[in-house]
Amino acid sequence: MKNQLRNGVITKTGMRNGFMLYERCVRIIEILIQSRQAMTTGELASLLSVSSRTIRSDLDVIDEWLGGFSHEPVVRIPGIGILLKDINGQIQMHLREKGTGGYVMSSAERVRSITGWLLSEGSSTSIAEMAEKLQVSAATVSNDLQKVKSWMDRSCIHMVSKPHMGITVRDTENNIRRGCIMVLREMLETGTHQQELIGMRFTQAESLLRKYQMTSFCNVLNAWREKILFIIRELQDSAHVTISDNGFCAMFLYLLTAFTRMDRGHPVSVKRQTFPHIEVPSGFDYNRIHDMILDQTGLDADENEMFLIHAEWMSLRKFGSSQEINVEHVLIAKELIAEVKDSLEIEFEEGDDTVLDLAAHLSVMQYRLFLNIPAEHNAALQEIEETFPDVCQVVRQKLCAILKERLGTVNQEVCSREAVYISMYIVACILKNPLEAAVKKDVIIVCNSTVATSRILENRLKSIFSNVNVVKSISYREFISAAQPLSCDLIISTLPLESTQYQCVTVNPLLKLEDINKLMGMFMLRMQNVDFNKYISATINIVARSLELKPEERIKLSIELTRDIKEEVQGLDKSHKPAVRNLLDESLVAVNVHARNCYDAIQLAGDLLKKKGYITQRHIDEMIRIKRKLGGYMVIDKGVALPHLLAPELSGPCMSVITLDKPVRFNHADNDPVDLIVMLLSNHNTAHIKVLEELVDLLGDAKKREAIRLSTSAYELLSIIS
């Protein structure tokens, strides 16, 4: 069969109507059918993050497709908008008949489809076979395979491609299962609803799996899904615990793989007696769970299978019940904390709770190390590593040394991720600061999965605000399943919550400036008095280690530094010249700029700074990379994005501002689309604080924000900021 691209449509001989719509065309059709009133091309362009010209071209394509079954074309009413009526449901019927292969996938979708296919099908395939299935050229598949190979390499999964032998994945069951988890999460595009999608909303997940060519995987999933859901529920209920969504997904896919393997008569290669150091806690009843699996599935799991099921279950973080604490893990926890104190020459009070929490984490960690799987993803990890690299490095070195002595060999990648998790507990202790007695607001903290994240947030709240009383910290699952009303004045969460019953606010666990301003402005939390001596002492310790100062030189430096810092702070307070205005001139402002998407918008804002020689393309690429990795975190207000970067090599803070002719999506749940971009880079993590404070004030003024958007020149925009 021959494919030809004509406008926005692929024509193919032998296909009814001769047309396959792009997915964007399908989305336009669905939007227009569901809309109760006319929509403009501008509104459609904004929703789909494309230009109005592209929408007009797509509408012509849709007209041609509609004509294929004698349907009326899209109605265009000048000055009003666009309408599409689905006469007798014909359009929906033809869209259903078109099926999952009825539109041309984007490059990203094809890469995901090929990845899922290779991971789940098992047998080798060829470029020609994939091209036929995806209805694209062999050259297109070859280009996509390069991206698939990069994905596999990043995920440490071995993909083999040899002439006359085809393309396949050759790796361990653990690695292939881990790859399936990763691609499943990408397909579902969710971090907190996987349990729901695999459970009661499975039809949505099933259609995605079939769309991405994972038919065999989908069939196996259909066969075992209800049985596995029952077993996981029983495991949680019998232990009086809940597991996170990431943990649920991992456990579900492990049981799916294990049951499929046992059903096909393939025994597991791991032997229980080979791993005497892996403990079996009293809470895991082998016989009862074995009988439950036999009753539900008809499969008689042997000792080795039960050992691996137990190890997978124990590798997950659980909530709602106290965990058995091993004395050896308590000693390791204390050893790690002592190493940080000695190596960095800092003092802090860790408390028994932190030691026990850390010991519980180490108990879970031993199973992850045994299974060679990294800890669950946590958005705060990268920020912890960037903000406290010295703590992470000390913990990483000490942890690897302890584990090598105990286990002989360890997976460096898994060990490194675990070290950052452990550092989160220790950082939470370092950030502690005593509170003065005051009338306090009762606060409940909600985090997605880890105790460490809640500890950091709790201690940040206590160190910054004088009237906060943290009642307790709970997981997201505990929040949504709470049977009794939660007693508190405010819920502070690290992920968005939907609640009409409670006052809720979403923050970064490290409490960035925008979070602090939000809590002060909306919920009347009061700031602590800044203790200069603490920061001065820390600075002196760093300088003394670097320069090997004598005791008398340390005292002299301490006196001078105290005086200089206080004078600097007083100078900032007396300054009336806006820091924002100091960084901007007309060459760093552009209005009504056209951007194809959010990445293009970041590039355009960065180009203004690059032309002045303030930054390089490398800095822009890094901000784009961070955006791809972390999603909509750059969006700080309705329609406002703040791409930012800490770059020590810069001479000082720099910024640019652009407004867009058409808004683009940054993938933020509440504040999309974006039409105002403020880019800020700094060479020091405090040098831009004054700028951020002014931006918060400026963008908090709705009238000024709107005036900035409506500016017709750089001069006009600057006059508003001034």
Is the separation of the CB atoms in 113 and 134 below 8 Å? yes
Mean pLDDT of 148-175: 83
Residue 602 has what pLDDT? Answer: 93
Residue 103 has what pLDDT? Answer: 47
Most confident of 25-34, 431-440, 454-463, 557-566: 25-34
Asked if the 579-721 domain carries CATH number 3.40.190.10, the reply is no
Residue 444 has what pLDDT? Answer: 92
Q: Which residues contact 292 (CB under 8 A, 6 or more apart)?
A: 231, 234
Helices 380-387 & 389-407 angle (0-180, nearest 10): 110
Residue 434 has what pLDDT? Answer: 42
Residue 525 has what pLDDT? Answer: 59
- The three-state secondary structure class of 496 is coil
- Whether residue 156 has pLDDT greater than 70: yes
Band (pLDDT 50/70/90 cuts) for residue 430 is: confident
Concatenated DSSP letters for 206-255? Answer: HHHHHHTT-HHHHHHHHHHHHHHHHHHHHHHHHHT-EE-HHHHHHHHHHH
Band (pLDDT 50/70/90 cuts) for residue 638 is: confident
Task: Specify the range with the lowest mean pLDDT, choosing from 301-315, 498-512, 630-644, 683-697.
Answer: 683-697
Q: Under CATH, which architecture does the 441-523 domain have?
A: 3-Layer(aba) Sandwich (3.40)
Residue 100 has what pLDDT? Answer: 38
Burial class (CB in 10 A: 0-12, 13-18, 19+), 464: buried
- Whether residue 226 has pLDDT greater than 50: yes
Residue 608 has what pLDDT? Answer: 92
Band (pLDDT 50/70/90 cuts) for residue 242 is: confident
Burial 655-677 (b: 16+ CB within 10 A, else e): bbbbbbebbbbbbbeeebbbbbb
The domain ranges of the chain are 3-104, 111-317, 327-354+374-430, 441-523, 532-574, 579-721
User: In DSSP terms, which residues pair with 635 in a beta bridge?
Assistant: 641
In this predicted model, which residue has the larger pLDDT, 520 or 60? 60
Fold of 3-104: Arc Repressor Mutant, subunit A (1.10.10)
347-399 per-position pLDDT tens digit? 777 777 788 888 888 887 877 777 776 666 565 677 777 777 888 889 888 88
Most confident of 274-283, 533-542, 594-603: 594-603
d(CA 275, CA 601): 54
- Lookup: tokens for 173: 């069951």
In this predicted model, which residue has the larger pLDDT, 514 or 688? 514
Band (pLDDT 50/70/90 cuts) for residue 451 is: low
Residue 605 has what pLDDT? Answer: 93
- Whether residue 67 has pLDDT greater than 90: no
Residue 543 has what pLDDT? Answer: 54
DSSP annotation of 379 reads T
Task: Report the mean per-residue pLDDT for the chain.
Answer: 75
d(CA 345, CA 338): 10
Residue 658 has what pLDDT? Answer: 93
